[in-house]
Structure 1
């Protein structure tokens, strides 16, 4: 893309450009990923510092990719990209960006906005309350990170979930969430409370079975999983994936690599960690672990379905 055709307009960075960062990028211009340009306006969405670095070398062109969407969507992409890589946005910049997105997308959930801006959902909630007078919420629902519309008041969704569980008490949390139109976290909470009210166990066993009969045999099953032969070197696998440009230079790929880097723990590491963690934290951590396990299982199933579809030519 000719540099003469590219425009630099308002960005999420209220402090302007960082000359030291530009100096550092100038030394590695040949290795920089392409900048992102809003096709309609030809303004830079992501990569102003890269653009300045290339300008300093005297080049006339730069690698670029186009984004097709309106200006509101372009701003969201700019915030997301600048929060995920390169020179991070300051806390003040992220809060200012979140406030603007609250005005542009008041129907988005706190968690969805938090993921884009790199903030906590509690911070987004506080910003929403602060700007409530200027930006009243127009609907009774909010769009979550999964694109599903959830009611702002969760009471109705919980009522639907309880009604569904009354008919199908053994339903999984995912089934409850889909049937009632609530988040997976809320579905788990409703199911747990329903089981407690019925006198059942309040937590699910990790293997998906019942909590009864999990004596020596159950522990033996877990132990066999821990010492299972042929377990791959997860850290080495992640390093190989990180070297793949098709992952490194895409937003979804970079996000996955960050998650995998944190998750590259060997089975014996989990065993040592479990025996060292404080007991008062154990129930919460176990619940979080089950939640993440379910999320990974969903990803594995979707990827397997995609692989099978490709193999069968469908």
Structure 2
């Protein structure tokens, strides 16, 4: 799926009369910042081309640059034209204004997300979050308030451009049948056939081995399954929910880590203390994780997400090695990959 930004970048720069441009429909609720305009004027550097929606001649990206050029007495300005629809033009305006220049305020981004949810209900929460610079959790709340779902109950389009069902309950059942019928199928083969992610297939397979239902406990029939439209585990409140104390579920991670801290086998050696420190860092409450998610600035989202996934891969590998040590005492450092 080619992005709207790349489509605008395909066009050559043209000189256009400033008087021919329209300036309505900005995603900035409070309008442009005169202080930022003065900053651009004082910089005395050549400003990059603005982006204009050709069918309407409306400025999509570059209102501050346009105002600066007007103040400097220029009659023309460098423009790249965008040929898409009005809805696509708005998406590009929002995406451009969180990527560079004066960032949109949180209120601007939430308002923009509500409009994008309405115009693109088939986009996943993470897809819209990547465009508007807010968290996927916040987008989910906006979607719920607006009651905006894909037409005809269809799937959602993830950031990778793939369509996945918003409700994967039945797809987990399909994966179950495929695994039972042919245990030799790989995770990816089952994932492709069932329309879910390999990680969800892995979870189904583990549940079958334990003699459990392929659906997570407590999830009603017909509720959203174990992955969202971006192929990641579904999330109700942000990071994985903590068990309720006294419900018979395992205690929260923070409680478990506190117990481990009292274990002499870990406390009285350097490697054990390193492990406790790492576990303690990740034993945050759901509310704390949500606050951290919402504090990630838009320009750092992709970097932070990449690092987080890299850390998760290392933890998964660590968990597998620890479990293998428990099952096979002879499996030591020499036998590890």
Cα root mean square deviation, aligned: 3.2
| Structure 1 pair 176–27 and aligned structure 2 pair: CA distance change class (3 A) | farther
Contact 2:27 2:112 in 1 (8 A): yes
Tell me the TM-score normalised to structure 2 length: 0.56
Contact 2:60 2:89 in 1 (8 A): yes
The alpha-carbon deviation at position 136 of structure 1 amounts to 5.4
Structure possessing the higher relative contact order (Cα contacts under 8 Å, 6 or more residues apart): 2
Q: What SS is found at the alignment partner of 1:33?
A: coil
Match of 1:161 among 166, 175, 184: 175
Tell me the TM-score normalised to structure 1 length: 0.60
Summarize deviations over 1:125-166 as a string: whole Å, max 9, x none. Answer: 11111111xx45423221222222211211122223334444
The alpha-carbon deviation at position 116 of structure 1 amounts to 0.9
- The residue correspondences of 1:150-299 to structure 2 (distance < 5 A) are 150-166=164-180, 167=182, 169=184, 171-172=186-187, 174-182=188-196, 184=197, 187-195=198-206, 197-198=208-209, 277-278=278-279, 281=282, 288-289=309-310
| Structure 1 spans left out of the alignment, 5+ residues | 200-272, 294-314
Contact 1:12 1:97 in 2 (8 A): yes
The alpha-carbon deviation at position 83 of structure 1 amounts to 1.6
| Structure 2 spans left out of the alignment, 5+ residues | 1-14, 211-273, 284-304, 315-337
| Structure 1 pair 176–99 and aligned structure 2 pair: CA distance change class (3 A) | same
Contact 1:107 1:139 in 2 (8 A): no
Aligned length: 215
1:120 and 1:92 map into 2 onto residues whose CA distance is 13
The alpha-carbon deviation at position 82 of structure 1 amounts to 0.9
1:190 and 1:279 map into 2 onto residues whose CA distance is 30
Match of 2:152 among 139, 161, 164: 139
Find out whether 1:42 has 2:60 as its counterpart: no
The alpha-carbon deviation at position 281 of structure 1 amounts to 3.1
